[in-house]
Copies of this chain bind each other. A is one copy, B any other.
Amino acid sequence: MSIELDTGVRRSVLPGGLRVVTEHVAGMRSATVGLWVGVGSRDEQPAVAGAAHYLEHLLFKGTAQRAATQIAEEMDAVGGELNAFTSKEHTCFYAQVLDVDLPLAIDLVTDVVFEARCADADVDTERSVVLEEIAMRDDDPEDLLHEVFQETIFAGHPLARPVLGTEESIRGLDPAALRAFYRDSYQPPKMVLAVAGNVDHDDIVRRVRKSPAVGADTAADAVATDPAPPRSGVAQLSTSGQLVLRTDETEQAHLLLGTRALHRHDERRFALSVLNAALGGGMSSRLFQEIRERRGLAYQVYSAMGCYADTGLFSIYAGCQPERLGEVTGVLRTTLTDVATGGLTEVEIVRAKGQLRGGLVLGLEDTASRMVRLGKNELNYGRYYSVDDTVARIDEVTVGDVAEIAATLLREVQAVAVVGPYSHVDELPDEVHEVMA
């Protein structure tokens, strides 16, 4: 079964439940293939915290057919990029190559994902690499801040756990537990192969079905399996306002404040994306203008939104010299209150829509971002939303919609996190304490 969708998107479900979604784009020289698994850190039991990301590393260490060196050599020889990333809800292995090298890319990605050896010795070697990655993250104050913030605002919920795990959990993970996680999580019905570029859907499906790794042509053929449905549900989260400090002898104080926001099935997410763009998404946004342009208080200031299956985040970041943290927080607070009570102007909303539209359309020129769009849409919604669909939904947003979501989300700051040279929260300026009041 294969359905022709708008633009050049086609979708097939293989007998074992693996979905293949492709987008044909004429005239591109590159092609990007991504093999997605609908599994991330939130799916781990606390005892194996960090397993999803650890596995992402381990799978490159060799397959039944190829040693780790060989995997690296075959991809480097054609100048492509082979890599992977893990998030709270997804793991994705991908390769971006010239279109003539797509067969190799599909072969490598499926081999790595379905046929990894996960040998004991490799688990140990890679343990050190993961520990180095955690140390590197801790040395980047902005990355560390985002981590601390999520741990606070989602306290008690699986989304609170860091994707990388902790030093303790990584030291404690044994090969058998990782292999069990691999076996249980990497099931075809939870997986999507997404390919974008100058590519042919039928040829890709034929290749994937022939692959012994996928096995859809043989035994599994007899057992037609439905794809796993998108995640859903509403989180129960009751944490009250929290202020958390991570002491670090940095030059700048790094501040993140925000609130839990919309899950990805909430129809108000388009209004929120307009609010996000106008409040802290670009050079003309309120926050950039107030904090950087008018007052020169920061180099970086922005807002950000994230949607998960059952909850979401809306947050504001600013980095500044410690002696200005009070003033910066005061201006942030006033700006948020203004928008919460007065909404945004028609002009700001028209501009924010233009900004989102331009960014979406520019993204079409990159096969990697098209591949990500295909894979995420399939896992998150079980269908494809084209850029035109999204632009249309954004265009429908009204001044009233934005005012409403601003009033809902900007009145209350649920968590504030600071990374900086303070030894105790009491040393933080009054404005930081007051921002949650």
Contact = CB atoms under 8 A, between A and B. Distances in A.
Interface of A: 26-30, 61, 68-69, 71-73, 75-80, 82, 96-98, 101, 124-129, 131-133, 135-136, 138-141, 249-252, 282-285, 288-289, 292-300, 319-321, 350-352, 354-362, 364-367
Nearest to A364: B29
> Number of copies of this chain in the oligomer?
2
Main secondary structure of the interface of A (DSSP, over half): helix
Given A69-B289, A72-B288, A362-B30, A125 B294 contact: yes
14 contacts: A26-B27, A29-B361, A29-B364, A76-B351, A77-B284, A98-B361, A125-B294, A125-B295, A125-B296, A129-B296, A132-B299, A132-B320, A135-B251, A136-B300
A367 B139 CA distance: 34
Given A136-B300, A299-B133, A73 B361 contact: no
Given A61-B293, A76-B284, A79-B359, 5 more contacts: A76-B355, A77-B354, A129-B296, A131-B321, A132-B252
A296 B357 CA distance: 44
A129 B72 contact: no
A365 B321 contact: no
B358 A135 contact: no
Contacts of A139: 141, 250-252
A135 to B, nearest CB: 4
A13 to B, nearest CB: 30
A79 B252 contact: no
Given A29-B362, A132-B319, A321-B131, A73 B284 contact: yes
A328 to B, nearest CB: 10
Contacts of A73: 284, 351
Contact of A136 (B27, B69, B299): B299
A66 B354 CA distance: 20
A365 B365 contact: yes
A126 B297 CA distance: 9
A218 B9 CA distance: 53
